[in-house]
Amino acid sequence: MASAAPLMPKATAVWLLDNTALSFDQIADFCKLHPLEVKAIADGDSAQGIKGLDPVATGQLTREQIAAAEADPSASLKLVDPKVPLTGSAGGKKSPRYTPVSRRQDRPNAILWLVRNHPELKDAQIMRLVGTTKSTIAAIRDRTHWNATNLAPMDPVTLGLTSQIELDMEVARANKEKPLPTASGATLLPAAETTRKEAEVAAAAAEEKEKSGDVDVSAVFAKLKQIGGKNARDEDEE
């Protein structure tokens, strides 16, 4: 059975490339990425702007594992088993999210990060992600939290309060529930309507010309010429 991917695979790959002598294949195998994708990250063609995530600090690897893999290019890295079991019961029903005491002080910072970076998330979704209360979320939104001046937005995934998969699922769910934007751009009128409008404008102009009493000078002169020529022919006949 394939092993699970580490937390934030691309960010982990960035850190391993910058801080270890591991091969592209070793990093790709551990992060569940393609070796060419790891090479693109190393060349700066991919994952630009992603901050590296230390897998040792997050308890996913040990220094001994990295040193051993650096000495043996054929060795593979394995995720360290979590010391705290994942929440959830065998029946599939999720139990209330437990936040370690050492991380509870970071929870308001995580809420602030979610409010700023994912405003589409509902309060219930934020509560599921970081295990907080609706009143706390409202206080942070309104900047009425007792420690509002000292709060700094921090990624809840980096803090270990939730997983990247859970965050992505909630964001996708929120975006799916958003109403589709209505088209507001200008559109071309049908040819029939355009022709009808042009005919109406021409008719209105003719009517206005008739009302204003404008006289076609060229038509008047042509009429006078006809009359003059006719009179001359009559005199010759006489």
Total residues belonging to the chain: 238
Does the pLDDT at position 233 exceed 60?
Answer: no
Other beta carbons less than 10 A from residue 129's beta carbon: 24
Strands (E), the chain: none
Mean pLDDT of 220-235: 57
pTM recorded for the entire structure? 0.39
Mean pLDDT of 211-233: 58
In angstroms, the Cα distances linking 207 to 192, 193, 198, 211, 218 are: 23, 21, 14, 6, 20
Q: Are 131 and 98 in contact (CB under 8 A)?
A: yes
Condensed to tens digits (0 to 9), the pLDDT of residues 147-188 reads 888 889 989 888 888 888 989 999 888 888 766 555 555 556
Condensed to tens digits (0 to 9), the pLDDT of residues 74-91 reads 888 888 876 555 444 444
Cα separation of the two ends of the chain:
124
Condensed to tens digits (0 to 9), the pLDDT of residues 99-149 reads 554 456 788 999 999 999 999 999 999 999 988 889 999 999 999 988 888
| Phi, psi dihedral angles at 98 (to 5 degrees) | -100, 130
Cα 16 to Cα 55: distance, rounded to the nearest angstrom: 8
Other beta carbons less than 10 A from residue 38's beta carbon: 27
Higher pLDDT: 46 or 102? It is: 46
Mean pLDDT of 3-29: 87
In angstroms, the Cα distances linking 1 to 4, 34, 79 are: 9, 18, 14
Does the pLDDT at position 12 exceed 60?
Answer: yes
77: left (phi over 0), alpha (psi -120 to 50) or beta: beta
Domain boundaries, the chain: 9-71, 101-177
Q: Which amino acid is at 138?
A: A
Mean pLDDT of 182-196: 60
